[in-house]
Structure 1
Amino acid sequence: MSSTTKQVIKELPNLIRVYSDGSVERLFASPYVPPSLEPGTGVLTKDIVISENPTISARLYLPEQTQPDQKLPILVYFHGGAFCLESAFGFLFNRYLTSIVTEAQVLAVSVEYRLAPENPFPAAFEDCWTALQWVTSHILTSNLSEKESWVSGHGDFDRLFIGGDSAGATIVNYIALRAGAETLQGNARILGGILTHPFFWGSKPIGNEPSENHLKALPAVAWDISYPSAPDGFDNPLINPFVPGAASLAGLGCSRLLVCVASKDQLRERGVLYHNVVKESGWTGEVELFETEGEDHAFQIYDTTTENAKVLIKRLASFLTK
C-alpha cells in the first residue's frame, strides 16, 4: 500500500468520515429542497444571502395567508447535525420548519452556517451571531431599499425568538449569552429561546450517563470531529456550560426559555441539568422544561407526522405565540 494512501482518522459510523489528508466524506445528508413561492403550499419560502465573506445564507419561511401589513413573531433558527452535518436547505429541516411555521404562524429565518471540520470553530457560532445581527438590522430605518422585504415588512421585533435542535440548541445558548453581554442591531432584545434536545457534553458522566466509554460515546466523537483543538476538550464552555469559568447562565439575554428533552436521549441528563442550573442561577427570566416520553434524540426531525412529534411542535408553537 502506498504511504500516501489516505486513512480514516475519525468517524461517526454511517454519518461522516475524516481522512488523514484533511478531506471529509459525509455519508448522510437529507436531499436539497428548493425554496417555493408557489401558492397553495401554506408556507412560502425563499433563500437569501446574508454575507458573501464569510458565506452565510438562510431560508426564509412566511405563512401564505399573511396579510400585507401583518406583523408576525420572528424565529431565527439554527439547525442540528453535530456542527458537521445537515443543512437549512435539506429536506428534513425544511419539512420541520414548515411544520413549525404552519402551526405557529411565524416568520422563520433558518440559518445556513458553515460546517465543521472544514470550517474550524467558532465559525458556526459566529455565523449564527452575524445572522441574528442581520435580522435585527431591519429595525433600523436607514437603507430600507436594501433590506429583505419579508423581514422588514412582517417581522415583529418585540416578539423575537431564537431556537434550535441538538447542535442548534447549543448555539442558542451561546447566542443568548452573547446577547446578554453585547448589543444587537437596533437595540433589539430577544424575547425567548428554544433549546430542543441540546447537545451538551463533558469529561465526566452525570446522572444516568454511562461511565464506561463515556469519552467514546457518539456525542464525544462528534465534538472531537467538530472541534478537535477545543481548549479544555470536552469541558470547553461551548459544549459544557456548567464548568467553572464558563459564563454564568444568569447572564442569558432573553426573557423566556423553553428546554425540551426526550426520555431515551443520551443527552437528556444535560438538558435537564441546563434547565435546573438556569433556574437556580439568579436569571430573572422564565424557564420551562418539556419532556417527551418514549422518544430518542431529535425524533421530531426525522418524522414530523407522529403523535409525539405533533405534540412537541404544538408545544413549540405555543411558546412562540404566548
Structure 2
Amino acid sequence: MDSTTTNPTTTTTKEIAIEIPTLIRTYKDGTVERLFDSPIVPPSLQDPDTGVSSKDITISDNPSICARLFLPKLTQSNNQENQKIPILVYFHGGGFCIGSAFSSFDHRYLNLIVSQANVLAVSVEYRLAPEHLLPAAYEDCWTALKWVTSHLANNSINSDPWLLHHGDLQKIYLGGDSAGANIVHNIALRTGVESLSGGVKVIGAFLSCPYFWGSKPIGSEPVAGHEQSIPHLAWNLVYPDASGGIDNPMINPLVPGAPSLAGLGCSKLLVIITGKDVLRDRGVSYFESVKKSGWKGELELFEVEDEDHCFHMLKIETANAKNVMKRLASFLQY
C-alpha cells in the first residue's frame, strides 16, 4: 500500500507499514504520521476564561519527561502557604501513540478542571509509541508521580515552587482519559505495592472512558472483526512485545492471573463511561469487578448516555460535558 506525500517542491511515494484508521500511520522508512492531533499551544499566565495560570517544567532529562502545571487563580484563602490545595496528577489520552499535555484540547480541559475544582494539576507529557514502545509511558508517569511526592521532603534540586507553596501533598489525586485512564489504573495498582516518598498516599483516582480491551468480545462488542478493531490494533502497535498480547493485564485487567483489583492504592475511585463509546462495556465490567474484588474504597460509576468517547473534552460547551465537569470537580473537592 502506497501513500503519496506532496510538498511545494517535491512529490514522494512512501510505503505504509501500519495504519490504524483515524489514529496513526507508520511508514517503512520509519516516519510516523499522526492522523488525529490538536495543535500544541503555549502555557499562559492567567487564562482569560478561567484565570488559571500554567507553565511547563522538566521532570527528567533522561528519559525526557515534561509536564504542564496548572494553578488556579489565587484568592485570599488559597494564596497562603498554610491554605494548600489538592494536587491532580493527570495523564492525557490518545492510545499511547498520539496526544500531548501541551495540546489545545488538553490545555483547555485542564484549565476548566483546575478552575472548577480548585486544584493544582500536573499534566504529564510522557513518551509516545511507536517511537517509544510501552512500558515507556507507564514508567514515565510513575516517575512523574514520584517527582510530585518528592516535594514532601522539600530537598529536591528539581522541586517546583508552585507545588511547594500551594500543593497539599496529603491530597493527591490521579486522573486520565482513555489511554490516560488506563495509565491511572496501572499506576494506582503500583501505588498499592510500592511506597511513595514520605509514605504519601493517593486519595482518589478518576478513569474517564478507560481504554481496556481483550481477546474475547464482551457485552455489545461485535464478534466479527474484533481483532481488527481500533483498540486491538492500537495495542499491538504500542506494545508489540506485551506478554499475553491483548490479554496482558495492563490492557485487560480482568484476565485470569491479573493483579487483584483489591490492591488499588487509593481510597476512592470514579469511573466515567459514555453510552456510545466502543469501550463502554469494558468500563462497566471494570467497575463491577472492582466492586466484587474486596477493595475497601468508595466506588462510583457515572454514565452519560448518547455520547461518544471522551466527548467532554471535544464538546466542552455542551450541557452533558458541563455535567461531567461538575462531577469531576465535586470528586476532586471531597
The TM-score, its normalising length taken from structure 2, stands at 0.92
Q: Which residue of 1 aligns with 2:196?
A: 184
- The code of the aligned residue for 2:124 comes to V
- Give structure 1 stretches of 5+ with no counterpart: none
Per-residue CA distance 1:287-307 (angstroms, 9 max, x = gap): 110000110101011121110
Q: Hey, what's the Cα distance between the residues in 2 that align with 1:6 and 1:202?
A: 33
Q: Which residue of 2 aligns with 1:201?
A: 213
For the pair 1:278 / 2:290, whether they are aligned, the reply is: yes
For the pair 1:54 / 2:63, whether they are aligned, the reply is: yes
Per-residue CA distance 1:99-136 (angstroms, 9 max, x = gap): 11111010000000000111011000000000000000
Q: Hey, what's the Cα distance between the residues in 2 that align with 1:34 and 1:211?
A: 44
- The code of the aligned residue for 1:37 comes to L
Instruction: Say if 2:59 and 2:158, in contact at 8 Å, map to a contact too.
Output: no
- The code of the aligned residue for 1:300 comes to H
Instruction: Say if 1:99 and 1:304, in contact at 8 Å, map to a contact too.
Output: no
Q: Hey, what's the Cα distance between the residues in 2 that align with 1:222 and 1:120?
A: 12
Q: Hey, what's the Cα distance between the residues in 1 that align with 2:61 and 2:33?
A: 25
Deviates more, 1:229-238 or 1:43-52: 229-238
Q: Hey, what's the Cα distance between the residues in 2 that align with 1:199 and 1:146?
A: 32
Summarize the Cα distance change of 1:39–1:276 in structure 2 as closer, same or farther, 3 Å threshold: closer
Of all paired residues, the percent bearing the same amino acid is: 59
1:315 to 319, 323, 327: 327
2:119 to 84, 87, 106: 106
Query: What secondary structure sits across from 1:181 in the alignment?
Result: coil
Q: Deviation at 1:67?
A: 1.2
Q: Which residue of 2 aligns with 1:45?
A: 54
Q: Hey, what's the Cα distance between the residues in 1 that align with 2:273 and 2:145?
A: 25
Q: Deviation at 1:83?
A: 0.3
Query: What secondary structure sits across from 2:42 in the alignment?
Result: coil
Q: Deviation at 1:165?
A: 0.2
Deviates more, 1:13-22 or 1:277-286: 13-22
Q: Hey, what's the Cα distance between the residues in 2 that align with 1:284 and 1:38?
A: 40
For the pair 1:97 / 2:110, whether they are aligned, the reply is: yes
RMSD (CA atoms): 1.7
For the pair 1:18 / 2:30, whether they are aligned, the reply is: no
Q: Deviation at 1:28?
A: 2.4
Q: Which runs of 4+ in 1 moved over 4 A?
A: 38-41
Summarize the Cα distance change of 1:282–1:23 in structure 2 as closer, same or farther, 3 Å threshold: same
- The code of the aligned residue for 2:53 comes to L
Q: Map 1:215-254 to 2 at 5 A.
A: 215-254=227-266
Q: Deviation at 1:21?
A: 3.0
Query: What secondary structure sits across from 2:192 in the alignment?
Result: helix
2:273 to 253, 261, 270: 261
Q: Hey, what's the Cα distance between the residues in 1 that align with 2:179 and 2:241?
A: 18
Deviates more, 1:78-87 or 1:20-29: 20-29
Q: Deviation at 1:39?
A: 7.0
Q: Deviation at 1:37?
A: 1.7
Instruction: Say if 1:73 and 1:159, in contact at 8 Å, map to a contact too.
Output: yes
Q: Deviation at 1:230?
A: 1.8
Q: Which residue of 2 aligns with 1:167?
A: 179
2:97 to 78, 84, 89: 84
Instruction: Say if 1:292 and 1:308, in contact at 8 Å, map to a contact too.
Output: yes
- The code of the aligned residue for 2:40 comes to Y
Q: Deviation at 1:9?
A: 2.1
Query: What secondary structure sits across from 1:162 in the alignment?
Result: strand
Q: Hey, what's the Cα distance between the residues in 1 that align with 2:298 and 2:242?
A: 32
Deviates more, 1:257-266 or 1:154-163: 154-163
Q: Hey, what's the Cα distance between the residues in 2 that align with 1:101 and 1:279?
A: 29
How many residues are matched? 320
Q: Hey, what's the Cα distance between the residues in 1 that align with 2:228 and 2:133?
A: 21
Per-residue CA distance 1:222-273 (angstroms, 9 max, x = gap): 1122112222111011100011111111111110000000011000000001
Q: Which residue of 1 aligns with 2:7?
A: none
The TM-score, its normalising length taken from structure 1, stands at 0.96
Q: Deviation at 1:151?
A: 0.6
Q: Hey, what's the Cα distance between the residues in 2 that align with 1:48 and 1:223?
A: 29
Q: Which residue of 2 aligns with 1:135?
A: 148
- Give structure 2 stretches of 5+ with no counterpart: 3-12
Q: Hey, what's the Cα distance between the residues in 2 that align with 1:213 and 1:201?
A: 14
For the pair 1:150 / 2:162, whether they are aligned, the reply is: yes
